[in-house]
Amino acid sequence: MAYHSSVASTVREGGGSGRVRFFLAGIMQGSLTEPAIHDQGYRERIKALIRAHVPLAEVYDPLADHSDSIRYDEETGRRVFFRHNAMCREVDVLLAFLPEASMGTAIEMWEAYQHGAAVIAVSPMTHNWAVKFLSHELYADVAQLEAALRSGRLARRIAEIHAQRDGAC
């Protein structure tokens, strides 16, 4: 738990010296029935925002190492799917981009939430229970996320979430 305490102080505007591990979750295949994925352009913009406003951030983007995952054989796909879900148990922050429902992202959010990570969602789905009840912060779009990052509000909220989690132990 000492690591997480240092993370909370790191996220506080300039304090601490530890890293902050982000998992960039978000819609890939969604509800598409053909072997295709949704536009992934949001990933670079969100990664750039995180890096600009959380200097010690380490951002893991599952698409970066698995851009052709839609074509993986069953064994490889299964291994990657379960490894990514396990990774969500070990991060400090899971940031989920959900313009529409994504079962994979919902599982990642659940794993992160259950293991004490701050779960931040960018989604217009304010009434979707998975999004609503698993998110510590919910922004309707990337512009709102950017405003929260610029103002320091998101950093303060992440620190609060980690402090509450660490205080409960």
Question: In the chain, what are the domain boundaries?
Answer: 19-153
Q: How many CB atoms lie within 10 A of CB 158?
A: 25
Q: Which CATH class is domain 19-153?
A: alpha beta
Under DSSP, the state recorded for 72 is -
Axis-axis angle for helices 153-168, 2-11 (nearest 10): 160
* Averaged confidence pLDDT in the chain: 87
Q: pLDDT digits over 34-82, tens only? A: 887 788 889 999 999 999 999 899 999 998 888 778 888 999 999 999 9
Total-model pTM: 0.85
- Read off the pLDDT band of 168 (50, 70, 90): low
